[in-house]
């Protein structure tokens, strides 16, 4: 139904009125000869001047390139060109960051967090209006029906599909087809793809028709609605791309509006990724209730989200924030839930949903009550609209798993249509209401904002959409009411948070190998292995994508659902590792059979026997006179020199390089978390490995090889109260004396408190010392659950003594292992501190490796939350920096006005503190956890939590399914070499150093090791087996996010000249005030262009086209990139600005 208006529609006519009578005075008849000549030859002269101008422009600027833009949308986006307010140099831009009207830090500084009772709108105030607000611009109301379908929560994704989601999709198709005025939005492609497999051709056709005529909009279109605190940006890109590509290939649409009503807090990383995928608008809901109130009061709930580093406004995206407590019907029509609930017609008696808890229930609308009911509803709409600037209003209509039956859907559509008809038939109400989609809403809102200037005086706003403030920052930590902060889910089910990251890195490595196999393939025969694996590859992508759901990686699902997620990830890990084994054999020339039929000769160095068990090292046991090969794959874009480790059954082994030359090595006993048996009887073998960028290198573990020195046994030192620690052969052992102990390499010395077995300080060879003050503690938390962290008091230290302390000293690795004595009878943690002697100035030499083995299992640990604290001497004023999705940093400040749990923040991969003197203490993690700086100099990280109770957020259980697991940190202590900003006075996030970026990359993208199933005779020496695909390493600040073939199953059907490969690059931003030590292998940074055409060795790049991050748009200006991105890619050299991620479609030939 079209909206009518007394002024001819919502938009004013832009055409001027005309008058037939001319008002131009007549001039004299006298004309000169020149005038006569000019008028007689007007067109000839004009054509001549046009040609001259065209030649000048062509000579000056060259022939313009055509734009290769393919749009699947019905409406082109009205993106205005982003122009900086003043010319800004890159150096100034980098230092100053984004200019915005609002930052989330400013909001936190301003808000008092008093949780005042606002009356009917408990978290707000009593909302009123004058009544004349809509006299000149009527209120345009879009009621948006939706159904939130969690792909796993209290039921598994398959259980939900069978019981609810398939019926909901059937209902949508049938009820929307009855009336063109009905609308609906759908978000999760995991369910749509599953339904599509079952649906009849008639239903599919109806679905497509509904999408094409605008009744049904796909919003977001990711595989899931992903979490934004724990998910890594690689996985977010994967899950959105998987959903968007399936949608485009199946239904022929690409989403442009994002809908994220249920993630527990929001990250600006998501805004950036969506912008670079071609999205125009976002909708979010779960932000701190006090922030909602502040933004509502100032009519700033709709804003332009800008990245904190973006001084040129290229990352701007429009955001609508919902104002109230929840996304259900009682909290979406207006500020008074008791009234709004009366308009949730699925709560009428006879339906399966609970009645309204406020006592007044919905009733069927009829001619007798329609006036009173419509006016009551419109009153809520008008009150809600006063919280926003425009007179275009969005009203969601739905809840979890709604519209499950025809009767339910008809109840909503039928009753609302009667209410709309009454409102629309009474012009005096100055309002029109109808069902709508997000696209209907945002399109109308932008049109209104184009006509009416809603900008405030002095407001920076955005060059894209006028009339709204600009904002930067993130929305963590979320609180929905009182002191209930959702910081518990940063750590819940940490075992599976770790598996998630292992699956990510394994999928990324497998994608690389598929791309390298096909790029090096000369004939169809060698395509069989990668294309034959396509089905399992798709399953792996989708299993990773599924776990990014906001009840998956968050650890907030029921036990059997967690088991389902875990089993899916475990299956995909097994599949990927088997494929990698075979792919490596092909690239090294070992496998002649290019298909998938014959079993692999290699097997992964780490074995996972079950979905919920830690991986174990495969034991190498070559017989006398033989050697077993170990192949290492380096998934990074630079050569790596690193000390590596495998487990062997005997200590008298030798390590050989692929050319059979000797490699120095070290052997030490393998340790375990077992008080009665610290030593396993096996041995750890360390050696220095060097593996080319994205390449392969082979090493041999030999027994009885003449001419090479055997692995050097480490020396052991013990400190234990009991005397039952035997000295394992062939090691020399001694007793540890004194209160402190040290281990050291050429750059740093670690000092340990022998009484407690904890790290005291790090001393550097340049004289700098860092107090570390390691402490392991435990919170008692009677109110915590899967979502909430609600401690009763501070964490208490649990270490009473060092227990059993073993120091391992060798030429390559030194370690202090502690199985401590704790305040509990059963010790929940053991830990190691390690340093390495790698190649001179290698990255590994500058870090401290901390490995914690955690077993929070048994009744002793009920309602306990385990933490590690580093009580340093850094004067950080309780300010620290934690990463957002492994992509960017966010400044965190501890506030006394909010409780302890509100000062905890997500730590997906990095947290660091910096003092006013420039000293910096960084902790890198390979899995997402939670972190805080509760006192000056302290950095606290939660490791695991075991909780008996449900926290009243719908899950209906605690978190009791803890698994034994290892948490690994890489710690870096740095001092700056030039002046640096003071964290207290600088509100902007700081960036990691170049060394810190490299440490994080090495931890999160480790070598993938594979071991030959059968040993070979060491007398028969095969030729060197290695593989090195890059012509030269990439610049140190450039990271390959992914190198892949998006659709390997269709590879053979696509024309060879098609761009069948995708390369995605991320240029990391780094703090130049810190020394580039550890980067001696670093030949360049990405200030200079990188030539895509000469990147590979033995592979020709014939064509390169810039594309969106979801691979579906090729108009780079539409994505916010500067104009050169699309142009330079076609010529080869590309320059990527710091922080940017850019994707390219490549045509490759061997």
Residues recognised as catalytic: 262
In a 10 Å sphere around its CB, with 0-12 CB exposed, 13-18 middle and 19+ buried, how is residue 16 labelled? exposed
Nearest-CA neighbor of 148 among 255, 225, 243, 236? 225
**Tokens 């020149």, located at residue:** 34
Rounded CA gap, 170 and 182, in Å? 15
Tokens of 866: 């385990």
In a 10 Å sphere around its CB, with 0-12 CB exposed, 13-18 middle and 19+ buried, how is residue 507 labelled? buried
Rounded CA gap, 172 and 1038, in Å? 46
CA dist list (Å): 936 to 566, 756, 775, 974, 978: 39, 23, 15, 18, 24
Reduced to 3 states (helix: H, G, I; strand: E, B; else coil), residue 295 is helix
Torsional sign, CA 301, 230, 1066, 575: negative
Tokens of 1073: 């005030």
Rounded CA gap, 779 and 943, in Å? 11
Q: Are 306 and 119 in contact, with CB atoms under 8 Å apart?
A: no
Rounded CA gap, 320 and 445, in Å? 11
Number of neighbours of residue 52 by Cβ within 10 angstroms:
10
Rounded CA gap, 972 and 603, in Å? 33
CA dist list (Å): 385 to 296, 319, 323, 841: 10, 16, 10, 61
Reduced to 3 states (helix: H, G, I; strand: E, B; else coil), residue 708 is coil
Rounded CA gap, 85 and 469, in Å? 15
Rounded CA gap, 440 and 184, in Å? 11
Beta-bridge partners for 347 = none
**Tokens 């999709």, located at residue:** 169
Nearest-CA neighbor of 85 among 471, 459, 467, 474? 459
Number of neighbours of residue 915 by Cβ within 10 angstroms:
21
In a 10 Å sphere around its CB, with 0-12 CB exposed, 13-18 middle and 19+ buried, how is residue 525 labelled? exposed
Q: How many CA atoms lie within 13 A of 630 on its CB side?
A: 31
Rounded CA gap, 641 and 618, in Å? 23
Q: Are 930 and 907 in contact, with CB atoms under 8 Å apart?
A: yes
Rg (CA), the chain: 32
Beta-bridge partners for 689 = 642
Q: Are 698 and 1024 in contact, with CB atoms under 8 Å apart?
A: yes
Rounded CA gap, 874 and 860, in Å? 35
DSSP string over 206-236: HHHHHHHTTSEEE-S--SS-B-SSS--HHHH
Largest CA distance in the chain: 123
Nearest-CA neighbor of 488 among 792, 232, 865? 865
Residue-wise over 70-96: b if at least 16 C-beta within 10 A, else e? Answer: ebeeeeebebeebeeeeeeeeeebbee
Torsional sign, CA 852, 857, 858, 859: positive
Rounded CA gap, 1062 and 1045, in Å? 6
Rounded CA gap, 784 and 343, in Å? 34
């Amino acid at each position: 139904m079209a909206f009518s208006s007394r002024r001819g529609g919502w938009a004013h006519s832009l055409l001027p009125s005309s008058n037939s009578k001319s008002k131009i005075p007549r001039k004299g008849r006298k004309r000169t000869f020149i005038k006569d000549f000019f008028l007689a030859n007007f067109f000839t002269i004009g054509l001549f001047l046009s040609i001259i101008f065209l030649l000048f422009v062509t000579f000056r600027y060259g022939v313009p390139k055509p734009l290769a833009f393919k749009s699947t949308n019905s409406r082109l986006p009205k993106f205005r060109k982003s122009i900086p307010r003043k010319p800004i140099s890159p150096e100034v831009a980098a230092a100053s960051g984004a200019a915005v009207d609002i930052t989330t830090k400013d909001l936190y500084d301003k808000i008092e967090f008093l949780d005042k009772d606002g009356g009917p709108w408990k978290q707000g105030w009593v909302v009123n209006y004058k009544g004349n607000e809509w006299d000149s611009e009527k209120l345009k109301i879009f009621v948006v029906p939706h159904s939130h379908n969690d792909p796993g929560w209290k039921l598994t994704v398959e259980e939900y599909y069978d019981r609810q989601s398939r019926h909901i999709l059937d209902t949508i198709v049938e009820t929307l087809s009855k009336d063109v005025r009905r609308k609906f939005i759908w978000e999760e492609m995991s369910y749509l793809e599953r339904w599509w497999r079952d649906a009849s051709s008639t239903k599919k056709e109806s679905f497509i028709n509904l999408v094409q005529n605008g009744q049904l909009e796909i919003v977001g279109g990711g595989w899931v609605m992903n979490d934004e605190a724990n998910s890594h940006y690689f996985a977010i890109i994967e899950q959105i791309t998987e959903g968007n590509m399936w949608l485009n290939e199946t239904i022929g649409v690409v989403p442009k509006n994002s809908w994220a009503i249920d993630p527990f807090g929001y990250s600006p990383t998501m805004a950036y990724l969506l912008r670079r995928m071609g999205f125009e608008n976002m909708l979010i809901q779960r932000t701190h209730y006090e922030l909602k109130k502040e933004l509502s009061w100032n009519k700033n709930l709709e804003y332009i989200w800008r990245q904190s580093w973006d001084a040129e406004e290229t990352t701007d995206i429009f955001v609508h924030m919902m104002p109230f407590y929840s996304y259900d019907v009682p909290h979406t029509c207006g500020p008074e839930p008791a009234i709004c609930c009366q308009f949730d017609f699925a709560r009428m008696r006879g339906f399966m949903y609970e009645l309204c808890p406020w006592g007044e229930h919905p009733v069927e609308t009829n001619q007798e009550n329609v006036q009173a009911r419509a006016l009551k509803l419109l009153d809520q709409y008008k009150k809600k609209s006063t919280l926003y600037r425009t007179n275009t209003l969005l009203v969601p209509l739905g809840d979890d798993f709604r519209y499950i039956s025809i009767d339910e859907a008809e109840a909503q559509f039928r009753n609302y249509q009667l209410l709309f008809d009454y409102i629309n038939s009474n012009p005096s109400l100055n309002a029109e209401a109808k069902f709508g989609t997000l696209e209907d809403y945002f399109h109308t809102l932008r049109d209104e904002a184009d006509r009416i200037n809603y900008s405030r005086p002095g407001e920076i706003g955005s060059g894209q959409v006028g009339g709204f403030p600009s904002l930067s920052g993130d929305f963590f930590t979320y609180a929905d009411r009182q002191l209930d902060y959702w910081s518990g889910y940063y750590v819940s089910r940490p075992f599976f948070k770790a598996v998630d990251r292992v699956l990510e890195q394994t999928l990324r490595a497998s994608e690389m190998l598929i791309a390298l196999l096909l790029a090096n393939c000369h004939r169809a025969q060698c395509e069989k292995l990668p294309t034959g694996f396509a089905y399992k590859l798709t399953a792996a992508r989708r299993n990773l994508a599924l776990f990014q759901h906001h009840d998956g990686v968050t650890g907030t699902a029921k036990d059997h659902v967690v088991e389902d997620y875990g089993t899916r990830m475990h299956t995909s890990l097994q599949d990927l590792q088997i494929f990698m084994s075979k792919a490596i054999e092909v690239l090294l020339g070992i496998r002649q059979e290019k298909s998938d039929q014959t079993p692999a000769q290699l097997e992964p160095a780490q074995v996972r026997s079950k979905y919920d068990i830690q991986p174990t090292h495969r034991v190498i046991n070559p017989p006398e006179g033989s050697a077993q090969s170990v192949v290492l794959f380096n998934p990074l874009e630079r050569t790596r020199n690193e000390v590596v480790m495998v487990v062997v059954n005997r200590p008298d082994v030798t390590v050989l390089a692929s050319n059979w030359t000797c490699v120095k090595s070290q052997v030490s006993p393998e340790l375990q978390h077992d008080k009665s048996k610290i030593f396993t009887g096996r041995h750890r073998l360390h050696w220095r490995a060097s593996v080319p960028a994205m390449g392969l290198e082979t090493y041999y573990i030999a027994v009885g090889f003449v001419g090479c020195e055997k692995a050097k046994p480490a020396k052991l030192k013990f400190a234990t109260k009991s005397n039952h620690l035997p000295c394992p052969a062939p090691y020399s052992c001694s007793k540890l004396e004194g209160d402190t102990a040290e281990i050291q390499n050429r750059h740093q010395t670690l000092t340990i408190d022998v009484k407690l077995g904890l790290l005291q300080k790090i001393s550097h060879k340049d004289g700098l010392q860092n107090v570390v003050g390691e402490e392991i503690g435990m919170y008692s938390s009677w109110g915590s659950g899967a979502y909430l962290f609600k401690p009763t008091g501070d964490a208490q230290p649990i270490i009473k003594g060092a227990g059993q302390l073993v120091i391992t000293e060798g030429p390559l690795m030194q370690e202090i292992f502690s199985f401590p004595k704790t305040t509990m009878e059963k010790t929940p943690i053991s830990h190691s501190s390690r340093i390495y002697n790698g190649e001179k100035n290698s990255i590994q030499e500058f870090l401290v490796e901390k490995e914690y083995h955690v077993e929070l299992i048994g009744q002793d640990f009920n309602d306990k939350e385990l933490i590690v604290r580093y009580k340093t001497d850094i004067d950080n004023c309780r300010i620290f920096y934690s990463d957002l999705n492994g992509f960017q940093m966010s400044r965190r400040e501890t506030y006394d006005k909010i409780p302890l749990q509100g000062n905890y923040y997500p730590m997906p991969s990095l947290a660091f503190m910096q003092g006013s003197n420039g000293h910096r203490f960084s902790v890198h993690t390979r899995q997402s956890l939670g972190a805080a700086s509760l006192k000056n100099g302290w950095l606290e990280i939660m490791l695991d939590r075991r909780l008996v109770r449900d926290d009243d957020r719908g899950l209906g259980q605690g978190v009791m399914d803890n698994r034994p697991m290892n948490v690994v940190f890489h710690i870096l202590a740095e001092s700056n070499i030039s002046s640096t900003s003071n964290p207290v006075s600088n509100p902007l996030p700081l960036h990691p150093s170049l060394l810190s970026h490299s440490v994080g990359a090495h931890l999160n993208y480790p070598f993938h090791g594979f071991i030959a199933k059968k040993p070979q005779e060491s007398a028969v020496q095969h030729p060197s087996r290695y593989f090195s695909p890059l012509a030269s390493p990439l610049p140190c600040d450039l990271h390959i996010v992914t190198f892949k073939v998006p659709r390997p199953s269709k590879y053979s059907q696509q024309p060879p000249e098609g761009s069948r490969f995708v390369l995605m690059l991320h240029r990391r931003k780094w703090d130049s005030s810190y020394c580039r030590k550890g980067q001696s292998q670093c030949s360049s940074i990405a200030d200079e262009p990188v030539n895509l055409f000469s990147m590979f060795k033995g592979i020709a790049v014939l064509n390169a086209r810039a594309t969106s991050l979801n691979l579906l748009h090729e108009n780079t200006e539409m994505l916010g990139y500067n104009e050169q991105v699309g142009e330079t890619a076609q010529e080869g050299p590309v320059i990527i600005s710091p922080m940017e991620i850019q994707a390219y479609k490549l045509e490759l030939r061997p």
